[in-house]
Amino acid sequence: MSTDSSISSTAPVVVVGAGLAGLVVALNIADTRPVIVLAKRSLGEGATAWAQGGIVGVLGQDDSIESHVRDTQEAGAGLVDEHAARFIAEHSARAIGWLVDIGVPFSVDPDGPLGLHLTREGGHAVRRIAHAADATGRAIHDALLARAAAHPNISLRERWMAVDLITSRHLKREETPRCYGIYALDMDSRRVETLAASAVVLATGGLGKVYRYTSNPDTATGDGVAMAWRAGCRVANMEFVQFHPTCLYHPQERSFLITEALRGEGALLRLPDGTRFMPAHDDRAELAPRDIVARAIDFEMKKHGLDHVWLDATHLGEDFLKSHFPTIHARCLELGIDIAREPIPVVPAAHYSCGGVVTDLDGRSDLPGLYAIGETAYTGLHGANRLASNSLLECAVLGRTCAERILQTPHDLPAAPPPWDESQVEDADEEVVIAHNWDELRLLMWNYVGIVRTTRRLERALHRIKLLRDEIDDYYANFRVTRDLLELRNLVGCAELVVRSALRRHESRGLHFSRDFPDTLPVSFPTVLTRPAKSTKR
């Protein structure tokens, strides 16, 4: 790992987030420009490492760009940007090849394209998912992190959390607003540092922790979306929060995902009496897109008064399960569940945000100098529902285009950003307020803004969120920042964006299902929110 002394006097590119998206950007810039990568916890934590299923690659003889685009559009329920879907599909083989070249140990098949074993997941017409057993994200992340740690022009900083973007407002410059860097909290020194940057890349992942039950890691607190929104950027499609159908239901493990690839290989969803229920909800049964499967499970749980349903893979055989799904097999066994001999208790959980900061396919946001990549961004690829395994692909493809755009952009800074001002604040004396508000926010989002919604529930949620936001803003204005406070501030901001977007959509489409508007309109458009111009605190 490099140190600050290896960074040149050129203002660095600051990448917020050390997952797949952020590391792809960093590695494709570092040969030319210095890069600082911030990870608010350890470098190994984050959603990338948790991804089990795999990454899409249009590689097989039975596959085509048109087929992948069509599957992406069908899953996205009419709101997919075809240009984005086609561009990313066309670059999928190159992205897979690059990952192979840097040493990602994908599962192999001597007869497969590029020598890779391809699996199938819900919504895909053919097998096109490259994977590393059932721990693809970890394999990809480990390979990228090893490369980044060895690069002399990349500074990896653990336990650094972005506080806010530095914009023209902070420099008191009368100009078209742009980004000049970022304020970041060094959690070891408890100091907020000023990081001037030639470009800032937000690769902070999603916002799953806004819900009580989620498959996401603790880092998924919507930091990038909230910061960009506060800086004046548009956000889009925030109402489309994907609930993964099959998260393990167990008192000791609330965030362990049971990959969709297990259903792709033939696992079946059952009621307690063993009855299959998916064929009654969709002709594609267990291979229907995630929104359909999640709503079906939610319906059956409410209909029968269940805490969970069962995912049965026993017929696949112990040898097959151990070789293809070793992580799931081992973890379930640790928890007393032998998936080769008994079904797995599963429940839907918040998994992925299809909306985010509006960007182009180079990651450029509305604010010059600011980029967003991966789950933080909205490119139009996912529409109203993400197709399985398109998320890692989007990061890999657009991480490279983002890096190329940054390298083509002038990077001189005209002035040094001002230091962080905490002269008017003090140490917090009642941090229980943060814990209480955190719990209240996540519970109300789960109860009022979940898989099935109503206008009345959304309006109640918005009212309570506004009260929480005012209390959190007051706390933020008067006390020194901590990670918990910053995460709560970002979560309440994202929660409000989700609810406001949901209230604007008067139909049911993809991941947004409203009992008050159960029909799907013949024509629909993305929900784009624009922040009113106003001054902001600190």
Q: Annotated active-site positions, please?
A: 290
Yes or no: say if 158 and 66 are a contact pair by the CB < 8 Å rule. no
Instruction: Report how far residue 202's alpha carbon sits from residue 374's, in angstroms, rounded to the nearest whole number.
Output: 9
Q: Which two tokens stand for residue 393?
A: 């692909």
Q: Which long-range contacts (CB under 8 A, 24 or more apart) does 66-74 make?
A: 67/125, 67/126, 68/92, 68/128, 70/125, 71/123, 71/124, 71/125, 71/387, 72/381, 72/382, 72/383, 72/387, 72/390, 73/383, 74/123, 74/289
Yes or no: say if 68 and 58 are a contact pair by the CB < 8 Å rule. yes
237 φψ region: left (φ > 0), alpha (ψ -120 to 50), beta (else): left
Strands of the sheet with 309-312, listed across from one edge = 241-248, 344-353, 309-312, 268-270
- Give just the sign of the alpha carbon dihedral 457, 458, 463, 465: positive
Q: How far is CA 383 from CA 150, 236, 240, 252, in A?
A: 37, 10, 8, 34
Q: Which two tokens stand for residue 92?
A: 């999928």
Residue with tokens 């494709």: 28
| H or E element at residue 143 | helix 136-150
Find all residues with CB under 8 Å of 15, minimum gap 6, and list them: 22, 23, 25, 26, 35, 36, 37, 38, 200, 201, 203
Single-letter code of the amino acid located at 331: R
| H or E element at residue 140 | helix 136-150
Determine the 3-state secondary structure of 489 from DSSP.
Answer: helix
The pairing of beta strand 154-158 with beta strand 377-378: unpaired
Find all residues with CB under 8 Å of 448, minimum gap 6, and list them: 457, 458, 460, 461
Q: How far apart are the first and last CA of the chain?
A: 33
The H-assigned helical ranges of 384-508 are 390-407, 432-448, 455-478, 483-504
Q: Which two tokens stand for residue 17?
A: 């987030």
- How crowded is the C-beta side of 311, counted as CA atoms within 13 Å? 32
Q: Which two tokens stand for residue 365?
A: 């946001």
Length of the chain: 538
